[in-house]
Structure 1
Amino acid sequence: MSAQSDVMVVAGVLALHYCIVPTDVCEGPSGTATSNYVARDGDGRRWFVKSYPEHVGLDSERRALELAEFAALGEVPVPVMRRTLDGNLIAVDGGMAVSVAAFAEGAETAGDGLYGARWGAVGATVGQLHRTLARHPDGPPRRAPSEEICDVQRGRQLLERLLARYAKQPPSFPFGPWARDTAQQRLDELPATTTMLETLPATLATQIVHGDLSSLNLILRGESVAAVIDFRPPAHRSPMWELGRIVLDPRTVLGAPDWPAGLATAVAAYQETNPAMPVEDLLTVPRAAAGYLAGSGYPLSEPLDDPPAVTPELEAYGRPATRPWVCCAPAWTRRRRCSVTRSADSPAQLQPSLWRHRNFRTFLIGQSDASVTGSSISSMVIPVIAVLELHATTSQVAWLAFLGLLPPAVLALHAGALADRHSKQRQMIIGDLVSAGARRLGRGRRRAPRPCPCAADRARADDAGRARDHAGDPDSAAARLSRPWLADRDRCGAVRAVGVRRGGGHHPAVDPSDHHRFPHAGADAGGEHVADGGRPAGL
């Protein structure tokens, strides 16, 4: 199929399956295994169209595109995927299988290497990517023996078999001799790589990763990351290998004498966005990357395994891609005193005190003073108010505590799935503001407590009792010592009646203006509220 006919097929697939009517379709930057096109629609938007070869497995490519969509949920800069009218990620028609994504305008690949602020931007983006993919449904991160991740013995066997095949079947095109010589050079460097790997920890972290994070699949706009493209199907690999593969790109290492300082910047930025990664693993970035590559034969075996796959794009990618690990690994060993591994790989150089980070201090103050403190006080005060003010019973307080724990138990899974799709910082701020507003509104509507009439009455009665004591009333002291009505507001009126009778009229402890509230206070001596002996009835 000619290039012109391929363009026509792409235009037809876009119109039929994606409802995109292209006004222009042209060939785009080709990948190592795909043919790519750039289409412009009637609104002026451009779309990146990837065409898959016939022998590729479309199921694995769909899983790779789904992994890209999952990464986008974690705010990783991934181009928006355009689905077909049937909701599929890949359209197959006219003998061609394609996927469509938004085109990153005004951006370029990281083929020119990393420099300046790019080090920190790339490290932070890769850290956010790995932090998001660690929650992928295919499995959480796990530890694996270092010998399995950096299997030098398996790499030695692979290179020896590859060289034996080249000896039996000499290459017939230029890339073949170069691949053979590079395989021999890598085999000669294995003893130095083995020595370097002796200091690796016993285990290293593995998790779902991008799978093909090279300089060609990292799109930059200025000194920031614009897009991460071309994911591979989800599989557990070493995240330190993936980080080292991009930050130790040959164009960077061979063209920047200060690459150790840049590497330290990238690793520190990675840790800031992915703090769950242990420092001991972060210190192994160059060694893990070199050891991982020692067990890989790509792309050195392509001239023998799949000659049609040896395209100019593959040659442009493969020739420099294998150079840094032959030269950078010994260089890293010689320069162990760089800022990342200074003082015998001390983690203190990589992990400064958190108190120096203004964002951490702000977060700690906000959580401890506003959120955690307020929630702790509420959990203690609410049951107390329920008992003292609302006279709640024991069972009611128990139900109150149970209902307080019910929402997290019922809604945690669903709320967590929704929360992963949005900014965590924004959710925390909004949640705290809503909580503070609700508490403020509750305090504003709370009615002022009514003064208990018995308090004033008790004070007046005590004053009257003390006056009687001074007057020599022998019964008043004993009577006041046995007054159970001090805790019974229903008998306050009887106290007033006693004062009226003993005083022969209006007693100073009785306020005439209170007669509408306590009508029994002015009752006659023979009334039902006063018993013989001057005590209230029922005492």
Structure 2
Amino acid sequence: MLVGPQPLPRRPHPKFIETQGRLPMSLWSYVPHTETAEGGLTGARWAAVGTAMGRLHSRLAAHPAAAPTLEPGAAVCDVAASRDRFEHLIHAYKHMPRLGEFETWALQAARERQAILGDVERALTLLPQLTVQVLHGDTAGPNVLFKDSEIAAIVDFRPPAPGYLAWEIARLGCDPKSVLDNSAESWLTGYTDLSLAYRDANPKASVDDLVSSPRVGCAAMLCSAFPLSVPVERPHILDAAMEAYGRVRHEAALMLLDRLPVMEEALRDALR
């Protein structure tokens, strides 16, 4: 009979699977029986996401690639460039020989976006200075894996580069399908849980970053032409899932824009 702690088995030394190129990467392990966070933020998962992102951002704040700085929040989006982009997109659609159902909808949505860019610009002017630091780079729902209500893995890190911390929080918390699959009230409750858990895990985080994150996320979605531009620029990747995502993203962004003052007031009250 074995008594007392036993030594752990020795793991084999890792082997290189690729030696070309300038980007160091590591392959850890396959995580079975998981599902992505895309459209799946409910219940205890909100706080789990907040805790994971808070810990991650706390560690990345010390990354040697760039120290955290404060930058004007309004610079998170280039509204003038977006206005030109939508103008060119509308022109391209109007000169297509034939528009299918999605193309017809995308043209209408692009016109709607172009018409409200003034509202987006005004919303951006109300942003305070926000934190810019090294981030994960792509915290979209598909890159966060859940096992039940716990974070199993965060994958697909981008090369270390600074960006707006509020945008990375919103990139996951304002996941379009999660926004629309809940009532506005229950989504805000979940987002508040995420923000409180984030602050607990990253106590140095600015309240302004957390409170402003829905505004930043909303503006970024409304200024982006993706995936409305896909039928024009990359028609080969257009499929039913992409079409559904385009509709959901557009609708979620408009809903957020309409409710920004209410959401920000509720978040600020909770984070006091």
Question: Which of 88, 91, 95 matches 2:18?
Answer: 88
> What amino acid does structure 2 have at the position aligned with 1:350?
L
- CA offsets 1:462-490 (integer angstroms, 9 cap, x no match): xxxxxxxxxxxxxxxxxxxxxxxxxxxxx
1:109 and 2:36 are equivalent in the alignment: yes
Matching of residues 117-156 of structure 1 within 5 Å = 117-156=44-83
Structure-2 separation of matches of 1:326 and 1:291:
10
Structure-2 separation of matches of 1:171 and 1:245:
34
* TM-score, length of structure 1 as denominator length: 0.43
Question: Which of 221, 226, 240 matches 2:152?
Answer: 226
CA contact 1:140–1:207 (8 Å) conserved in 2: yes
> What amino acid does structure 2 have at the position aligned with 1:126?
M
Paired residue for 2:251? Answer: 323
Matching of residues 490-529 of structure 1 within 5 Å = none
Give aligned pairs, total.
256
CA contact 1:196–1:333 (8 Å) conserved in 2: no
Paired residue for 1:252? Answer: 178
CA contact 1:171–1:177 (8 Å) conserved in 2: no
CA contact 1:253–1:324 (8 Å) conserved in 2: yes
- CA offsets 1:223-248 (integer angstroms, 9 cap, x no match): 11111122333332212111112112
Post-superposition offset of 1:255? 2.4
> What amino acid does structure 1 have at the position aligned with 2:261?
T
- CA offsets 1:166-199 (integer angstroms, 9 cap, x no match): 2223565554333322222222332332333332
1:350 and 2:271 are equivalent in the alignment: yes
Structure-1 separation of matches of 2:101 and 2:189:
37
CA gap of 1:299–1:121, structure 2 versus 1, over 3 A, is same
Question: Which of 333, 346, 351 matches 2:261?
Answer: 333
Structure-2 separation of matches of 1:254 and 1:276:
31
Structure-1 separation of matches of 2:251 and 2:19:
36
> What amino acid does structure 2 have at the position aligned with 1:231?
F
Structure-1 separation of matches of 2:115 and 2:223:
14
1:204 and 2:204 are equivalent in the alignment: no
Aligned Cα root-mean-square deviation (Å): 2.9
Paired residue for 1:292? Answer: 220
Paired residue for 1:261? Answer: 189
Paired residue secondary structure (2:41): coil
Paired residue secondary structure (2:70): strand
Post-superposition offset of 1:90? 7.7
Post-superposition offset of 1:313? 4.5
Structure-1 separation of matches of 2:19 and 2:134:
21
Paired residue secondary structure (1:226): strand
Paired residue secondary structure (2:181): coil
Give the structure with higher Rg (CA). 1
CA contact 2:139–2:172 (8 Å) conserved in 1: yes
Higher mean Cα deviation, 317-326 or 284-293? 317-326
Structure-1 separation of matches of 2:68 and 2:239:
36
Paired residue secondary structure (1:128): helix
CA contact 2:212–2:264 (8 Å) conserved in 1: no
- CA offsets 1:417-467 (integer angstroms, 9 cap, x no match): xxxxxxxxxxxxxxxxxxxxxxxxxxxxxxxxxxxxxxxxxxxxxxxxxxx
Which ranges of structure 1 fall in alignment gaps of 5 or more residues? Answer: 1-82, 92-98, 343-348, 352-539
- CA offsets 1:394-417 (integer angstroms, 9 cap, x no match): xxxxxxxxxxxxxxxxxxxxxxxx
Matching of residues 161-176 of structure 1 within 5 Å = 161-169=88-96, 173-176=100-103
Q: Tell me the percent identity.
A: 33
Paired residue secondary structure (1:135): coil
CA contact 1:107–1:220 (8 Å) conserved in 2: yes
CA gap of 1:166–1:264, structure 2 versus 1, over 3 A, is same
Paired residue for 1:314? Answer: 242
CA gap of 1:270–1:194, structure 2 versus 1, over 3 A, is same
Paired residue for 1:433? Answer: none
Which ranges of structure 2 fall in alignment gaps of 5 or more residues? Answer: 1-12
> What amino acid does structure 2 have at the position aligned with 1:240?
A
Structure-2 separation of matches of 1:291 and 1:133:
25
Post-superposition offset of 1:267? 0.8
Post-superposition offset of 1:161? 2.0
1:278 and 2:206 are equivalent in the alignment: yes
Paired residue for 1:536? Answer: none
Paired residue for 2:141? Answer: 215
CA contact 1:268–1:350 (8 Å) conserved in 2: yes
CA contact 1:218–1:229 (8 Å) conserved in 2: yes
Structure-1 separation of matches of 2:113 and 2:229:
13
CA contact 2:36–2:143 (8 Å) conserved in 1: yes
CA contact 2:85–2:225 (8 Å) conserved in 1: yes
- CA offsets 1:22-52 (integer angstroms, 9 cap, x no match): xxxxxxxxxxxxxxxxxxxxxxxxxxxxxxx
Structure-2 separation of matches of 1:283 and 1:337:
8
Paired residue for 2:161? Answer: 235
Post-superposition offset of 1:312? 4.4
CA contact 1:186–1:326 (8 Å) conserved in 2: no
> What amino acid does structure 2 have at the position aligned with 1:221?
K
CA contact 2:35–2:145 (8 Å) conserved in 1: yes
CA contact 1:152–1:291 (8 Å) conserved in 2: no
Paired residue for 2:5? Answer: none
CA gap of 1:282–1:337, structure 2 versus 1, over 3 A, is closer
Paired residue secondary structure (1:253): helix
CA gap of 1:213–1:181, structure 2 versus 1, over 3 A, is farther
Q: Which structure would you say has the larger RCO, counting Cα contacts within 8 Å and 6 or more residues apart?
A: 2
